[in-house]
């Protein structure tokens, strides 16, 4: 992979259990933090069912469009674990049992019976490499710019830890935030003007409901340009302070 000051990424969550409501996804939040920490911009996330065609289409669209594609789910030993098959199909390569993956799986267990089901977990698409799994031994798959990982959150996180050193990060964004006890409708017009005069800063406004008394809005600013970030933050803070003063709001008493 070549040096890229602005690497981007997509995440593909594979799993009927997320779409059916059986399981609440945790890996989207994890990958968002992981990318932010490395200065990789997470640009899109998709969730697709356990169906080869849907997975292949998403794999090919997302890997073409981004520096990195991370996937979670579908790499276990049961019939519904078809991610490796889909990856091989997306890349147009074979899916042989890999000696390194097999060793990782067998060396973990004593009294181990290599069932056909377990053998499925040792398949790596041709040209790919296993990703180490310190939790349950069965490896993930690295192929091209695609990193195929487990859906079980603790294993997904273990695999991220093992691939992190291989990824090229980019410029890390700094962020600041200012809490406001006036609502978005009150501060919105001035905030838009501050955004307009600070194009290098992404300003987001996040209302919260049901916490403390009265409206609570958090303004979040993110930028790779520390000077622009400080300037925008100062302007937002001054605006919020004035709006509080005008309304007799004492922030330290206003809410949680």
Closest approach of Cβ 16 to a copy of itself, in Å? 6
Closest approach of Cβ 127 to a copy of itself, in Å? 26
Closest approach of Cβ 132 to a copy of itself, in Å? 16
Residues near 114 by beta carbon (within 8 Å), at least 6 away in sequence: 106
CA distances (Å), 109 to each of 102, 105, 139, 149, in order? 12, 7, 14, 21
Least Cα distance to 160 among 6, 28, 256, 57 occurs for 28
Closest approach of Cβ 60 to a copy of itself, in Å? 15
Parallel, antiparallel, or unpaired for β 68-72 and 129-131? unpaired
Binding segment toward a copy of itself, per CB under 8 A, in 29-37, 163-171, 231-239, 244-252? 29-37
- 75 interacts with a copy of itself by CB under 8 A: no
- 200 interacts with a copy of itself by CB under 8 A: no
Closest approach of Cβ 234 to a copy of itself, in Å? 18
Dihedrals phi, psi of 28, to nearest 5 degrees: -65, -45
Angle at 242 between CA 237 and CA 243, to 5 degrees: 100
Residues near 85 by beta carbon (within 8 Å), at least 6 away in sequence: 52, 95
- 186 interacts with a copy of itself by CB under 8 A: yes
How many residues belong to the chain? 256
Asked whether 16 and 81 are in contact (CB, 8 A), the reply is no
- 122 interacts with a copy of itself by CB under 8 A: no
Asked whether 95 and 88 are in contact (CB, 8 A), the reply is yes
Closest approach of Cβ 50 to a copy of itself, in Å? 7
Nearer to a copy of itself, 113 or 252 (CB): 113
- 32 interacts with a copy of itself by CB under 8 A: yes
**Site map 133..172 versus a copy of itself, x via CB under 8 A:** --xx---------------x-xx-----------------
Nearer to a copy of itself, 86 or 143 (CB): 86
- 52 interacts with a copy of itself by CB under 8 A: no
CA distances (Å), 232 to each of 166, 194, 206, 227, 240, in order? 35, 7, 17, 9, 12
What is the size of the binding site for a copy of itself (CB under 8 A)? 69
What is the binding site for a copy of itself (CB under 8 A)? 13, 16-25, 28-29, 32-33, 35-36, 41-50, 54, 76-81, 113, 115-118, 120-121, 135-136, 152, 154-155, 173, 175, 184-189, 191-192, 195-196, 202-210, 220, 222
């Amino acid at each position: 992979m070549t040096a890229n000051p602005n690497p981007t990424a997509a995440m593909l969550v594979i799993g009927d259990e997320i779409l059916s409501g059986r399981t609440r996804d945790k890996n989207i939040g994890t990958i968002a933090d992981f990318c932010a920490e490395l200065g990789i911009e997470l640009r899109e996330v998709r969730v697709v069912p356990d169906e080869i065609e849907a997975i292949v289409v998403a794999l090919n669209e997302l890997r073409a469009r981004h520096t990195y594609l991370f996937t979670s789910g579908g790499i276990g030993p049961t019939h519904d674990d078809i991610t490796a098959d889909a990856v091989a199909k997306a890349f147009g390569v074979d899916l042989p049992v890999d000696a390194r993956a097999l060793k990782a799986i067998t060396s973990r267990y004593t009294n181990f019976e290599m069932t056909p089901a377990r053998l499925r977990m040792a398949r790596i698409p041709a040209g790919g490499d296993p990703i180490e799994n310190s939790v349950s031994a069965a490896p993930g798959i690295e192929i091209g710019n695609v990193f195929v990982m487990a859906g079980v959150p603790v294993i997904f996180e273990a695999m991220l830890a093992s691939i992190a050193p291989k990824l090229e990060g980019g410029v890390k964004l700094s962020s600041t935030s200012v809490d406001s006890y006036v609502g978005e409708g009150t501060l919105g017009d001035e905030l838009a003007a501050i955004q307009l005069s600070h194009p290098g800063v992404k300003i987001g406004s996040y209302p919260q409901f049901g916490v403390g008394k009265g409206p609570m809005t958090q303004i979040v600013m993110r930028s790779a340009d520390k000077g622009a970030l400080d300037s925008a933050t100062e302007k937002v803070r001054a605006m919020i302070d004035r709006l509080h003063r005008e309304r007799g709001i004492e922030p330290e008493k206003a809410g949680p």
